[in-house]
Structure formats: structure tokens, C-alpha cells
């Protein structure tokens, strides 16, 4: 199951230990790590990405759910880019793009307070025990949430509702007097613009998810090839 994972630690050294453990679990085949970053929260409310993996095919994930989650955890004060300069390149900080609930962000930010450091990752895991056991032994607080697919349904419903309104306005426009036609036409134009913007936003999100899926396939292929080469 694809999930977002956030593990909060009391120090940067513990976070790097947690990152190392996460990658070890990936190497052992217990989980698959698609993307990760180490995020430090400062006393002034800002956050810095201290380290991240944005090389190779994983870089195509960064404008989608993972990049959006990093941006959201940066908080309203802002996010400074540290050692991993490209981690938010082109990424819109959008809860819908992150494909997780607002309650998840709230739960994490209550623990990810000043001077704490988190390992943030997008992973695939069949069961939670391997990650929880390793992270808790290091002193990490583990948060996870499965990625949601509901946004497409919401988009479709919103567009359908606006199209119904548009059809009604056009019907009224056909029967309206000249003075009323101009006002109705203005509303029709505004609503049509909103519909087109919503359709474009949904298209962009679907394309981002397709890129994300393709990137994950490439990651898994690379791991399989590396394992085969090691065995031969």
C-alpha cells in the first residue's frame, strides 16, 4: 500500500539515523522507499529541507504528493531549501495534490515543533511493524497515511454541478430580454472560465499522478536490476 510516512525525532542526528534505518528496510525488501527528505523545524517557525533524494527518476515525484507534503509541513511561515535544493522545484503546496487529509497535517505539526527534525517519505509497505519497530527504537514518533484517490471524484462532481448551472443560464439567456441578456452573458462567461480552469487543474493533477506512477515503476525496475546484478 502506498503511504506518506513522517517520523519525528528530537534531534538531527536521530533523524539521520532514522533515514538510514528506512533505507536499510528498503534494501532488505521490507518496504519500498520512493522519495525521502529530512526536514528540520526551527524556533522561528520556518523549516529547512536538510537532505533529500531528488536524483534520477524520483525527481519526477517532486511536484506532486511528496513535494506538496513537504511544503505543507513547512508551515505558514515558509520553507527554506537546504542541501536538497531541488526538492520543491515546480511543486505547488496543495492539500489536494498531497492526497492526504488536513487532519494528518494537523497531527504531525502538533509534534513537529520547534527544533525537532522529521524524516518524510513516500513508501510502499504491506505491514507497519518493520518501520514502527525500527523507528520507535531510535526514539521516533511515527505518522502514516495512505494516499487518497478521492480527489478525481470531487473534481468530476464540481464540474458537473457548474455545467448544470451553465446550462440553466444559457436556457435563460435564450429567452431573456436584451437588457437581461448582457448580464446573463457576463455570468455565463465567468462560469465557463471557472469550468475550464477546473478541468485544467484536474488534467494537471492526473498527469502529475501518471508521472508519479511511471517514476515509481522506474524505481522498482532499478532495484530489481541492482538485485539481479548483485546475485550474478
| pLDDT mean values, one per 10 residues, the chain (232 residues) | 91 96 92 90 84 48 67 61 39 57 84 94 89 95 78 66 86 85 87 86 74 74 79 74
Helix (H/G/I), strand (E/B), else coil: 123? strand
Q: What is the number of structural domains in the chain? A: 2
pLDDT score of 149? 52
Burial class (CB in 10 A: 0-12, 13-18, 19+), 181: middle
Which of 111, 146, 181 is where one domain is finished?
146
Note whether 157 and 198 are same-domain residues: yes
pLDDT score of 139? 96
Which of 122, 146, 170 is where one domain is finished?
146
Query: Which domain range does residue 47 map to?
Result: 2-146
Q: What would you measure as the largest C-alpha separation in the chain, in angstroms? A: 81
Using left for φ > 0, alpha for ψ between -120 and 50, and beta otherwise, residue 78 falls in: left
Note whether 83 and 175 are same-domain residues: no
Strand partners of residue 144: 5
pTM summary value: 0.65
pLDDT score of 225? 82
**List of E strands, 136-198:** 141-146
pLDDT score of 58? 39
Q: Which residue is listed with cell 473534481?
A: 155
Angle at alpha carbon of residue 48, lines to 35 and 44, rounded to 5°: 145
Note whether 11 and 91 are same-domain residues: yes
Within 13 Å and on the Cβ side, how many CA atoms surround 143? 21
Note whether 116 and 217 are same-domain residues: no
Which of 117, 146, 175 is where one domain is finished?
146
pLDDT score of 154? 55
pLDDT score of 103? 79
Amino acid at each position: 500500500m502506498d503511504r506518506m510516512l513522517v517520523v519525528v525525532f528530537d534531534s538531527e542526528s536521530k533523524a539521520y539515523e532514522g533515514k538510514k534505518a528506512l533505507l536499510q528496510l528498503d534494501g532488505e525488501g521490507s518496504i519500498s522507499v520512493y522519495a525521502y527528505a529530512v526536514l528540520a523545524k526551527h524556533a522561528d517557525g520556518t523549516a529547512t529541507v536538510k537532505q533529500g533524494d531528488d536524483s534520477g527518476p524520483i525527481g519526477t515525484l517532486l511536484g506532486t504528493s511528496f513535494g506538496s507534503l513537504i511544503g505543507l509541513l513547512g508551515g505558514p511561515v515558509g520553507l527554506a531549501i537546504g542541501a536538497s535544493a531541488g526538492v520543491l522545484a515546480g511543486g505547488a503546496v496543495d492539500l489536494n495534490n498531497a492526497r492526504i487529509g488536513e487532519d494528518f497535517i494537523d497531527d504531525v505539526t502538533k509534534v513537529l515543533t520547534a527544533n525537532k527534525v522529521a524524516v518524510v517519505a513516500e513508501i510502499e509497505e504491506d505491514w507497519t511493524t518493520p518501520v514502527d519497530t525500527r523507528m520507535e527504537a531510535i526514539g521516533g514518533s511515527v505518522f502514516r497515511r495512505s494516499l487518497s484517490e478521492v480527489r478525481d471524484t470531487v473534481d468530476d462532481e464540481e464540474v458537473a454541478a457548474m455545467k448544470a448551472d451553465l446550462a440553466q443560464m444559457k436556457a435563460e439567456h435564450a429567452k431573456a430580454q436584451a437588457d437581461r441578456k448582457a448580464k446573463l452573458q457576463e455570468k455565463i462567461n465567468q462560469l465557463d472560465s471557472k469550468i475550464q480552469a477546473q478541468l485544467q487543474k484536474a488534467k494537471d493533477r492526473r498527469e502529475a499522478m501518471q508521472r508519479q506512477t511511471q517514476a515509481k515503476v522506474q524505481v522498482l525496475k532499478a532495484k530489481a536490476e541492482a538485485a539481479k546484478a548483485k546475485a550474478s
